[in-house]
Amino acid sequence: MQEDPLKRSSIKNITKTLVAFKAARLSLGLNRRQAAERCSCSIRALEQLENGRCNYTEDRLKRLIENMGMTWPEFLRFKDSPEKALAQIDAYNQERTLSRKPRRNLYKLVTKEVRAIRVLRKRRNISQYKASEICGFKECAFGLIEAGRTDLTENKIDLILRSLGYKRQDFDKIVRADIIADEVISEINSLLELLDDQALHTILTMIKTLTKR
């Protein structure tokens, strides 16, 4: 019988790799529930993993990392100094607004502007980690921006657009549109994967009919 790679252990063993895993999750702006949904596992399983109370293989860890939205090479950079990465994320999250409102990272506000930034990043086919690097942000910045956990100011928008090679009109076009086409297409593709061959053929016929109008 094959051993479960996330089988609970009676010995707590928080390794450098597990500290890096937690830093990677937080840098993407994900809480455990959100990460568990992406990884198709339970919140409890992730909690046990990060607390060093379950066994795991490198292959299993790699799948979890990639499902969360980070490439394996990017994760390996966290492993170089995971404690430093966690400290940077903690410092970033503790920034307060001048009006002394509740910490921005305590609540989520995914505006259409945030969604537009996510779309433009994905069009460049780069990860949140890479986008942060290109823009000169801390490693966790883009993850927190796209999760709606940090303010997206006009100056920050201009910097992101300039760094990713976009013009302001590219951003404004998405924000002003009634729907964000990229998101709709992504959702349709996800639903198509659930259909059988006959249903796919029916959908294809419908799409061909619509495009001829």
pLDDT for 161 equals 96
pLDDT for 90 equals 67
Let me know if the fold of 16-93 is the same as that of 104-176. Answer: yes
CA-CA distance, 29 to 35, in Å (whole number)?
9
pLDDT for 159 equals 94
Long-range Cβ pairs for the range 179-186 (8 Å, 24+): 180/112, 180/115, 180/116, 180/119, 182/119, 182/122, 182/123, 183/115, 183/119
pLDDT interval class at 121 (50, 70, 90): very high
CA-CA distance, 68 to 187, in Å (whole number)?
17
pLDDT for 2 equals 39
pLDDT interval class at 169 (50, 70, 90): very high
Which architecture characterizes domain 16-93 according to CATH? Answer: Orthogonal Bundle (1.10)
CA-CA distance, 163 to 191, in Å (whole number)?
33
Chain centroid to CA 207: 31
Parse the chain into domains and list their residue ranges.
16-93, 104-176, 181-211
CATH superfamily of 104-176: lambda repressor-like DNA-binding domains (1.10.260.40)
With 70 as the cut, is the pLDDT of residue 108 above it?
A: no
Taking the model in full, what pTM does it have?
0.57
